[in-house]
C-alpha cells in the first residue's frame, strides 16, 4: 500500500511562497479531494510530489521514496496535470504507445486504457482534432497506463460533459475500492462532494484542513432545522421561550438555527402543534468550504476592486 507523504514542504518562486511548510498524508483505499482557492498551491504540491519541481525545503514521497528514486515510476504513480500535454500531431493511440514504450509497459495496456477511458473509437485520430473533454479522457488513460498504485488528477472533470463527469466519478471511486491512493484537485464543490471520502484543503500555501468530508461539513457549518406547521405563531413562541428563533423561509417553511429536528419534534408533540414537515438540513460542502477559506482567498473581489471595475 502506497501513501503520499508531504512533510514540511515549502516552495518559493522568488518572493512568492507557493507552498508553506505543508504536512499531510494521502492514504490508500479512499478518494482524497484536494481543495483550495486559485493560487493556493495545489498544482505546485502535485508537481513537487511528481518530482517536476524541486522543493525549497521539506520532502514529498510516494511509499516513503522521492519520485526521482522510484524504479518504475509509471507503474507506481499515474498523474493527469495538464490535458493539453499530448502532442497534437500524434494519434491518441500513438501518444499512449510512446509512453508505454518509455515505461516498459505492454502494448495490451494501451488498448485497455483506451477502452477504459471511452476513447477506443477515436484512438486513431490525431489529438489536435480532440475536444477538451476527449483530451481529458486521453490524459486519464495515460495516468492509468502503468496500472499505478497512486493516481493524482488535477481538475479531471474539466471539459467533461455530464456523462463524462459521472464516468470520472465512478472511475475514481472504483480506483479507491481497489485499494489505490487517489488524490483529486477540483474547484467544483458539489462535484467533489459526490466522490471524495476525505479532504485536504489549502489556503495561501498552508494546510487549512485534513479531515474526513463528513467531519469537515459538520465542523464548518451551522446546524439548522426546516419546519412547516399549521400553527407557526404558537411554534415560534414555544421556540423563542427556549432561545431559538424561527426565521420564515418565504415558502411557508421556517428555519431554526442551532437546533436538532428531534428536539423540535418532541417540543411540538408535547404541545400538540401539528407539523407538516420537519428535517435537519445538512450544509453543503460548498458552504462549509466557503466558510473556511473566506480569509484565504487571494483573488476575491473586494469592495474596492468592485468599485474600480464598475
Ligand atoms: N513556475 C512558477 N513561477 C512563479 N510562480 C509560480 C509558479 N508556479 C506557481 N506559482 C505561484 O504559486 C502560487 C500557487 O500556484 P498553484 O498553481 O500551485 O495554485 P493552485 O492551488 O493549483 O491554483 P489553481 O486553483 O488556480 O490551479 C501562485 O501564487 C502562483 O502564481
- Grid coordinates representing 8 are 514540511
Instruction: Say yes or no: CB of residue 11 within 6 Å of ligand 1.
Output: no
Contact 63, 35 (CB under 8 A): no
**Domain total in the chain:** 2
Examine the pLDDT at 283 and tell me if it is beyond 70. Answer: yes
| Mutation choice for ligand 1 from 18, 33, 153, 185, CB with most ligand atoms inside 8 A | 18
Does residue 307 sit within a domain?
A: no
- Å from CA of 37 to ligand 1 middle: 11
Which atom in ligand 1 lies closest to the alpha carbon of residue 36? Answer: 21
Per residue in 214-242, pLDDT (tens digit) is 888 888 777 889 999 999 999 999 999 99
Q: Which residues contact 127 (CB under 8 A, 6 or more apart)?
A: 86, 87, 88, 89, 90, 91, 92, 95, 135, 138
- 181: which 3 cell numbers? 491512493
> Is 90 exceeded by the pLDDT of residue 176?
yes
Same domain, 129 and 196: yes
**ipTM above 0.85?**
yes
**Domain identity same for 30 and 91:** yes
Cell 518562486 sits on residue: 13
Span from the CA of 38 to the centroid of ligand 1 (angstroms): 8
Which residues span the domain enclosing 237? 222-281
Predicted confidence at residue 303, as pLDDT, reads: 44
Band (310; pLDDT cuts 50, 70, 90): very low
pLDDT for res 190: 82
Residue 42 has pLDDT above 50, yes or no: yes
Question: Do 201 and 256 share a domain, yes or no?
Answer: no
Mean pLDDT, the chain, whole residue set = 90
Q: Which of 35, 40, 192 to mutate to test the pocket of ligand 1 (most atoms within 8 A of CB)?
A: 40
Task: Report the range of poorest mean pLDDT among 103-112, 123-132, 143-152, 215-224.
Answer: 215-224
1-31: pLDDT as tens digits: 799 999 999 999 999 999 999 999 999 999 9
- Note whether residue 294 is domain-resident: no
Tell me what the mean pLDDT of segment 126-145 comes to: 92
Q: How many residues does the chain have?
A: 310
Q: Which of 193, 218, 243 is the last residue of a domain?
A: 218
The vertex-190 CA angle with 186 and 192, nearest 5°, equals: 40
Closest-CA residue, ligand 1 atom 4, reads 13
Query: Picking from 161-175, 237-251, 294-308, which range would have the lowest pLDDT averaged per residue?
Result: 294-308
Query: Which CATH number is 200's domain given?
Result: 3.40.50.300
Q: Are residues 226 and 187 in the same domain?
A: no
Domain boundary residue among 175, 190, 218? 218
* Cα gap 48→232, rounded to integer Å: 57
Q: Give the domain CATH number at 246.
A: 3.30.70
Is 73's C-beta closer than 6 angstroms to any atom of ligand 1? no
Mutate to test the pocket of ligand 1, among 9, 14, 16, 202 (most ligand atoms within 8 A of CB): 16
Between the CA of 81 and the centroid of ligand 1 the distance, in Å, is 13
> pLDDT band at 299, cuts 50/70/90?
low
Burial class of residue 34 in the structure, from the number of CB atoms within 10 Å of its CB (0-12 exposed, 13-18 middle, 19+ buried): buried
Question: Same domain for 182 and 240?
Answer: no
- pLDDT band for position 300 (cuts 50, 70, 90): low
Amino acid at each position: 500500500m502506497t501513501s503520499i507523504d508531504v512533510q514540511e514542504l515549502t516552495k518559493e518562486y522568488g518572493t512568492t511562497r507557493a507552498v508553506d511548510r505543508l504536512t499531510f498524508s494521502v492514504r490508500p483505499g479512499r478518494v482524497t479531494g484536494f481543495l483550495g482557492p486559485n493560487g493556493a498551491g495545489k498544482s505546485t504540491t502535485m508537481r513537487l510530489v511528481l518530482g517536476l519541481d524541486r522543493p525549497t525545503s521539506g520532502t514529498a514521497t510516494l511509499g516513503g521514496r522521492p519520485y526521482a528514486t522510484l524504479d518504475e515510476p509509471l507503474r507506481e504513480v499515474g498523474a493527469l496535470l495538464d490535458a493539453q500535454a499530448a502532442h497534437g500531431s500524434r494519434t491518441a493511440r500513438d501518444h499512449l504507445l510512446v509512453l508505454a514504450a518509455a515505461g516498459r509497459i505492454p502494448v495490451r495496456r494501451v488498448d485497455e486504457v483506451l477502452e477504459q477511458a471511452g476513447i477506443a473509437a477515436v484512438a486513431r485520430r490525431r489529438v489536435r482534432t480532440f475536444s477538451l473533454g476527449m483530451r481529458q479522457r486521453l490524459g486519464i488513460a495515460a495516468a492509468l497506463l502503468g496500472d499505478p498504485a497512486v493516481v493524482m488528477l488535477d481538475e479531471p472533470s474539466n471539459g467533461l460533459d455530464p456523462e463524462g463527469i459521472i464516468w470520472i466519478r465512478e472511475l475514481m471511486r472504483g480506483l479507491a475500492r481497489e485499494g489505490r491512493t487517489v488524490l483529486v484537485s477540483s474547484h467544483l464543490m458539489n462535484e467533489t462532494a459526490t466522490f471524495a471520502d476525505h479532504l485536504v484543503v489549502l489556503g495561501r500555501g498552508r494546510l487549512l484542513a485534513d479531515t474526513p468530508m463528513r467531519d469537515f461539513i459538520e465542523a464548518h457549518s451551522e446546524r439548522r432545522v426546516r419546519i412547516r406547521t399549521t400553527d407557526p405563531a404558537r411554534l415560534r413562541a414555544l421556540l423563542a421561550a427556549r432561545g431559538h428563533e424561527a426565521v420564515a423561509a418565504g415558502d411557508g417553511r421556517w428555519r431554526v438555527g442551532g437546533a436538532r429536528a428531534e428536539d423540535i419534534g418532541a417540543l411540538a408533540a408535547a404541545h400538540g402543534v401539528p407539523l407538516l414537515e420537519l428535517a435537519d438540513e445538512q450544509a453543503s460542502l460548498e458552504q462549509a468550504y466557503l466558510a473556511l477559506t473566506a480569509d484565504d482567498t487571494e483573488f476575491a473581489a473586494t469592495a474596492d476592486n468592485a468599485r474600480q471595475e464598475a
